[in-house]
Amino acid sequence: MKRPARPLRRLALLAAAVALGTAAKASDFSEPWKNADRPLVIDAYEYNSIDWQQLVTDKRVAGFINKASDGLPPPYFCFGAEADVKLCKAQWKRYAVTRELFQTRKVVAKALGLKWGAYHLARPGNPVEQANNFIDFAEPAPDELMALDIEGIDPAQWMSLDDAEEFVRQVHRRLGRFPVLYVNGKTAQYIADNRYQYRV
C-alpha cells in the first residue's frame, strides 16, 4: 500500500527544486525588486509605519504578507510571583496590540486591492497548539495565503521540520488546505540538502 504524501515533504521538495534549479541564473534572485516585470509582495515588520497611499502607487505591489502569530499564545491566566504576573500581563498586552494591528493592516490592504497573506513564526513547542493559535489569530479567509515561517534549523529557537509537518496537518484538518513554507535561504538550503529525508 502506498504511503500518503506528507505535506511538508511536498514543500521540502519544492524548496529543493528551487534551491537546486540550474536553469535560473544567480542574478535572477539577486535584488529581484529591481526588475520592473516582477510583482512585489511586501512583508513589513509589525511595528513599521506604512504609507499605504504611497505604497500602492507602485503598480508592481500586488500583495502584502504579515506576521500573524508567534509560537504559542500567552497563558490565559496570570498567576505566580509579582514579576511573573507583570510579565504575563505584558505578554497579553503585546498580543492584543499585535492582533489589532494585524487586523487593521488586513482591512486596509484588501480595501486597496492587494492580495493578503499571513504567516506564523514557528517556535519550539506544541505544533498543534501553534497551528490553532495561528488560525484563531489570523482568521484566514479562503482567498488568503497562509504560511509557516521557519527562520532557522536550531530546534532550541525554531520549530523542527518534523513539528512543522504536524503544524501543516493541523491547519489542513481545520481549514481543508495547506499553508506554504516561508523560509530564508539558509533554511531552504538545509531542506534541499536533506531532501531525501523529506521525500514526497
Residue 27 counted as domain residue: no
Nearest Cα to Cα of residue 189 among 4, 16, 7: 16
State the residue range of the domain holding 122. Answer: 70-197
pLDDT of residue 3: 46
Residue 58 counted as domain residue: no
Q: Are 124 and 156 in contact (CB under 8 A)?
A: yes
- Whether 4 has a pLDDT exceeding 90, the answer reads no
Residue 24 counted as domain residue: no
pLDDT of residue 27: 52
pLDDT of residue 2: 44
Asked whether the CA dihedral 84, 90, 93, 99 is positive or negative, the reply is negative
Residue 166 counted as domain residue: yes
Amino acid code (one letter) for 35 = N
Nearest Cα to Cα of residue 147 among 124, 121, 181: 181
pLDDT of residue 77: 86
Poorest-confidence range of 27-31, 53-57, 123-127, 195-199? 27-31
Q: Which residue has the higher pLDDT, 69 or 48?
A: 69
pLDDT of residue 21: 45
Number of domains the chain is built from = 1
Q: Which residues of 114-140 are buried (b: 16+ CB within 10 A; e: fewer)?
A: bbbbbbbbbbbeebeebbbbbbebbeb
Poorest-confidence range of 27-31, 43-47, 97-101, 168-172? 27-31
Q: In this predicted model, what pLDDT tens digit does every residue of 130-159 receive, in sequence order? A: 999 999 999 999 999 999 999 999 999 999
Average pLDDT in the 59-73 region?
94
- Whether 195 has a pLDDT exceeding 50, the answer reads yes
Nearest Cα to Cα of residue 178 among 190, 196, 164, 192: 164
Q: Which residue has the higher pLDDT, 25 or 118?
A: 118
Residue 181 counted as domain residue: yes
Q: Would you state the torsion angle of the CA atoms of residues 141, 144, 148, 151, taken in this order, to the nearest 10 degrees?
A: -140
Asked whether the CA dihedral 34, 35, 36, 42 is positive or negative, the reply is negative
pLDDT of residue 65: 96
- Going along the chain, which residue ranges are E strands? 40-43, 61-70, 115-121, 145-150, 180-183
